[in-house]
Structure formats: C-alpha cells, structure tokens
Amino acid sequence: MSRLQPTETGLVPGEAVALAETLNAAMPKTARFRMPSGHPMEWFAFVFLTVLIISSVFVEFIPGLVRASFPYGDFSQGPEWSLNGLFGTDALGRSILSRVLYGARTTLAIVSVATLISLVIGMTLGMLAGFYRGPVERIVDLYANSMASLPPILVILALISVTGNSVFTMMLALGLLDIGTYARIAKGGVIAQNDRDYVLAARAMGASDMRLLLREILPNLVPALTAIVPPLMAGLIITEGSLSFLGYGIPAPAPSWGGMIASSTDLLSRFPLLIFGPIVAIVLTVYSLNTVGDCLARRMNHRGREL
C-alpha cells in the first residue's frame, strides 16, 4: 500500500498529519534482505553458492577445463595440482572436477525448477486456503498431511515407474514433494494477516479478493517463504542424489553427483578418493543452503520484532 500524505485526506492540517502518521505506522514495513554482516561461515555460504552457480552455468567457458565426457588422464588417477586433476580422474579417465561442475548445473537446474513448481502451486493453494477457509482449507490440509506422511523417495519411485525416468519426471516429482510445506506457511501467513488493520481498511474500501491477496497480503508473505526456500532446496538435492545413487535419477551419460558416487562404489576399496569430489560438492552445497536459510530466517525474525 502507498503511504498516505496529509494533503490527500481533505482534513485540516493538524488532523491530517495526525491521521497520516497513525495509518502509516499501522502499515507493515517491507522486509529488506541484507548480506551477512559478521559470521564468517555465513560469508562462506554466500560466496560458495555464488561461485558454484556461476561456475556451473559457464562451465564450458572455463579456460583449460575439459568436457565431462572427455578422457583426461589415466584411469582412477589421484589428485594433482592442475585444474582438471584437482580431484583426480574416474574409472574412465575423465576429470572428476569437470564432472562435478557439469553435474552441478544439471542438479541445480532440476532443483530450481522443482522449487519453482512447489513454490507457485503451494503458495497459491495456501493463500486460497487461508483466505477462504472451509472446504478449500480442508482439501489443502488433506494434501499437505498426505504428502508429509509418505516417504519422498517412494513417492518419486512410484511416479517414475508410471511415467518413466527422465529429467522432466525428476523435476515434476521433486516439485510435488514441497507443495504442502509452502501451502502451510502461506496459509498461516494469510490467517495471521486477515484481521490486520491494513487488510480491513482495504476491504472496507471495496477492494476485491484478488486485490487483497495480491496487493495487501502477498508482499508480506514473501520474506517468510524466501527464508524457507534454501533449506527445502537442500533437501531436494539430497533426495535427487539418493535417487541417482539408486539408479533412478538423471539418466546416463549426463553426470550427476549421486550417479558419480554410485559408479565408484565397486572401486572404493582400491581408490577411495573417487567419491571425494561429489561428496564434498553435496556436503558444502547443502551446508551453504541451510546456512543461508538460517541467516534469512534470523533477519526476518529480527525485522518482525521491530514492527
């Protein structure tokens, strides 16, 4: 909502100023996102994710880095001080670092699309459930509770068995997992805002339901939903890696972190460093996403206490 100016009310100057100050104080302040200001691990998380995203997107343009499918050196070669040999080579002589970066692009793309699907559908259902309540709320709660009670890997395996194994299936299956979580958060936020002064004022002025949801309520749901996105993305990365490890993830020959670990299990007794690269990538990515989520959540809570 736009801030009221004293000259827009038609009152005498003293009354107009007092009314404008009262209404403006009652309006919610938009939360602002700031970079971490103190803890070094928060800086590490932001920097690591930034470097990982940029490297995975522009991996073809990294000078000297071979393609993921090209052989680089001897089979199962140990790490060396070179770009392609930093993590060594796999059982086919391919650069593990190159495959980690190419796998990061595939994994991050799948998880990002799945998160977008979950966020849009879950936020829409949650807002409708919290605004209209009644049957709509019961249907949304039934779906959320049903998905929460089922093991995610079993749900995805059931969908893969019906539709087949593909990147599109992975995006859709992972996207279905977190719809209930986003719906619950959105529903709770809408219920908490339904009786706020700015919503009641807009409703009294004849605002439609669509305007109330999109202009008055949605902007104040964005911070809470944004803070929960990174941890949920971390969970999807673990789930995708588990499926790839089991052979139901990203189809070969496309590289994936879980698939790289699975393909090296038979050689671990002789070459234990084969899984070092993908494991480090998964651990640091999941840790960084959880750290970013905690950082955003603390800042949102601190902002909320100031209101």
64-91 pLDDT, tens digit per residue, is 888 877 777 777 777 788 888 888 888 7
Q: At what angle do helices 152-163 and 218-246 cross, to 10 degrees?
A: 70
- In this prediction the pTM is 0.80
Copy the structure tokens of residue 38. Answer: 């103190």
pLDDT band at 285; cut points 50, 70, 90: very high
Q: CA gyration radius for the chain?
A: 24
pLDDT at 187 over 50: yes
The more confidently predicted of residues 14 and 183 is 183
Copy the structure tokens of residue 123. Answer: 């936020």
Cis bond before residue 231 (omega within 30° of 0): no
From first CA to last CA, the distance across the chain in angstroms is 16
C-beta of residue 174 within 8 angstroms of C-beta of residue 239: yes
Q: b/e for 77-114, b at 16 or more Cβ within 10 A? A: beeeeeebbebbbbeeebbbbbbbbbbbbbbbebbebb
C-beta of residue 110 within 8 angstroms of C-beta of residue 170: yes
Ranges 39-43, 112-116, 194-198, most confident: 112-116
pLDDT tens digits for 95-140? 888 899 999 998 999 999 999 999 999 999 999 999 998 899 999 9
pLDDT at residue 31, as a whole number? 44
- Mean local confidence (pLDDT), 272-287: 90
Helix (H) and strand (E) counts in the chain: 12, 0
pLDDT at residue 304, as a whole number? 52
- Mean local confidence (pLDDT), 176-184: 91
CA–CA dist 20, 7 (Å, integer): 9
- The answer to which of 21-30, 62-71, 107-116, 281-290 has the lowest mean pLDDT is 21-30
- Mean local confidence (pLDDT), 273-283: 89
The more confidently predicted of residues 287 and 71 is 287
C-beta of residue 230 within 8 angstroms of C-beta of residue 244: no
